[in-house]
Amino acid sequence: MTDDKRILELLNTRDEAGLKALSDKYTPYLMKIASNFLSDRNDCEECLNDVFMRVWQEKLSVKPELLSVHLASLVREICIDYYRKNHRKKRIASEYTVSLSEIGDLASDGKASDPEESIDRMWLSGLLNAYFRTRPKEVRNIFIMRYYYFDSVSEIAKRTGSTVMRINTLLSRERKRLRKYLEQEGYEC
């Protein structure tokens, strides 16, 4: 298995062997994440193709140790776009759908804000970063697993050696805590 440093070297020299190595190594990993968003295998496949295409077209300037995080971010972004584009045409049953439902006590339904309001989103990101840095590592990681990677609660329970009930409770409390925090910062939740 090619290491990440080598993969990045190959990609940055436009060597297609890098793309293959990347695909070989990360397809299962990215498929897992994509499948948390999209229930259809073909949809996942399409998103993964977009990820690899974007990696190929855009020069990667990430550190090798952050390659997996970067790829996860890419597939997350692409899958969310795909989800939003297609969810109204056909119901997509996925962990992402469930997660959207769960954050109903934190945020309301509705499309993303206009691009002009991206400053607000940057501000919100800053608040979230600040918030999570104050939280216990385990709680923060579980929240990110659920609402960034959209891992299922049962998966998280297995990974953390906990129970489904406890993870659900923890997430529920954390949403309420975050809501309170955001309201204090002026957001209407």
Partner 1 sequence: MLKKDDFMDAMRDLDQDLLMDAERARRTSGKRNWAAGAIGIAAAAVLLLAGSAFLIRQNLIRQTPVSSGTELSESDVSDTSWHSTADLQESVLSLSETESTSLPEETETERTSLPEETETVHSEKVVDKPKPVSLYEGSAICDSGIVSITGSGPEFAEGVALKKTCLYPGPSVWIHETGLISQGESVSVIRTATVLTYNTPEPYEGWTTSESKWYFVTVGSEGAIGYVKAEDIGNAAECTEERESPIETEPESTEENQAESSGQPADGDAAMQETENAYEDLSEWEKAFAEWERKYLFKDRVIFDSGIVSVIGRDPEFTEGVALKETYLYPAPNELFYETGLIYQGRPVTVIRTADVRTGDSPETEEFETASESKWYFVTTGTQGRIGYVKAEDIGNAAEVHVEMTGPWIVKEGYEYYETVGLRNPRYAEDTNVNVRGPFWIVYKNEETGLCKLASRQDYIIYLYDTDALEPYMEIGYPRTLRAG
Of residues 39-78, those binding partner 1 (CB under 8 A): 39-45, 48-49, 52-53, 56-57, 65-66, 68-69, 72-73, 76-77
Alpha carbons 68 and 54: distance in angstroms, whole number = 15
Decide: 167 and 142 in contact? Cβ < 8 Å. yes
Among positions 6, 23, 54, 181, the unique one binding partner 1 when judged by CB under 8 A: 23
8/113 with CB nearer partner 1:
113
Decide: 41 and 13 in contact? Cβ < 8 Å. no
82/147 with CB nearer partner 1:
147
Nearest to 31 by CA among 21, 22, 41: 41
**Residues of this chain, 145-184, that bind partner 1 according to CB under 8 A:** 145, 147-149, 151-155, 157-166, 168-170, 172-173, 176, 182
User: Residue 187 — φ and ψ, nearest 5°?
Assistant: -85, 140
60/147 with CB nearer partner 1:
147
